[in-house]
């Protein structure tokens, strides 16, 4: 019959071997990194908190969705002290590439957004505009 110390030593050796395999990449921890890194913003969000990362300010904008269309009315709230591009924003358009184009009343593009891996969008154009739109 094997002693208790024999089984404890065997478990310790297996544990160390498992840790080494995980550390070297031989064993996979079972986490699907593609799925966890690609959480898309909710498609039906109707309010966003806009975060100005450069000035450390926030404001709320409302999105009035038109069912069946990819163009929606954007209504900035009280966004005093935010970049002027946000006060000009009036139209939210979902594009075929999965991005968002925001235009003013005349149809001029004021910013382009790309999906964030959280629940929102980051401004990618203009590049000097450090804003994110976070759904809630």
Alpha helix positions (H), 27-117: 33-36, 84-88
- φ, ψ of residue 56 to 5 degrees: the values are 60, 50
pLDDT for 23: 67
For residue 88, being part of any structural domain is answered with yes
pLDDT band, very low/low/confident/very high, at 27 (cuts 50, 70, 90): low
**pLDDT tens track for 59-86:** 898 888 878 888 888 888 788 888 888 8
For residue 81, being part of any structural domain is answered with yes
- Choice among 4-13, 23-32, 105-114 with the minimum mean pLDDT: 23-32
For residue 41, being part of any structural domain is answered with no
Distance from C-alpha of 61 to C-alpha of 132, rounded to nearest angstrom: 12
Q: Is the pLDDT of residue 47 over 80?
A: yes
pLDDT for 38: 43
Name which residue leads in pLDDT, 40 or 52. 52
For residue 89, being part of any structural domain is answered with yes
Are 102 and 112 spatial neighbours (Cβ–Cβ below 8 Å)? yes
**What average pLDDT is seen over the chain?**
78
Structural domains in the chain (count): 1
Q: Is the pLDDT of residue 31 over 60?
A: no
For residue 19, being part of any structural domain is answered with no
Distance from C-alpha of 54 to C-alpha of 105, rounded to nearest angstrom: 26
For residue 103, being part of any structural domain is answered with yes
For residue 85, being part of any structural domain is answered with yes
Domain hosting 106: range is 46-135
For residue 3, being part of any structural domain is answered with no
């Amino acid at each position: 019959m094997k002693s208790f110390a024999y089984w404890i030593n065997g478990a310790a050796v297996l544990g160390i071997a498992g840790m080494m395999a995980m550390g070297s990449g031989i064993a996979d921890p079972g986490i699907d990194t593609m799925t966890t890194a690609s959480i898309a913003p909710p498609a039906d969000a109707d309010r966003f908190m806009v975060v100005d990362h450069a000035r450390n300010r926030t404001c709320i904008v409302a999105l009035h969705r038109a069912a069946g269309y990819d163009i929606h009315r954007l209504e900035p709230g009280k966004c005093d002290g935010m970049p002027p591009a946000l006060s000009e924003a009036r139209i939210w358009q979902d594009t075929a590439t999965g991005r968002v184009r925001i235009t003013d009343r005349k149809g001029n593009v004021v910013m382009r957004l790309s999906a964030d891996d959280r629940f929102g969008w980051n401004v990618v154009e203009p590049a000097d505009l450090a804003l994110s739109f976070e759904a809630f």
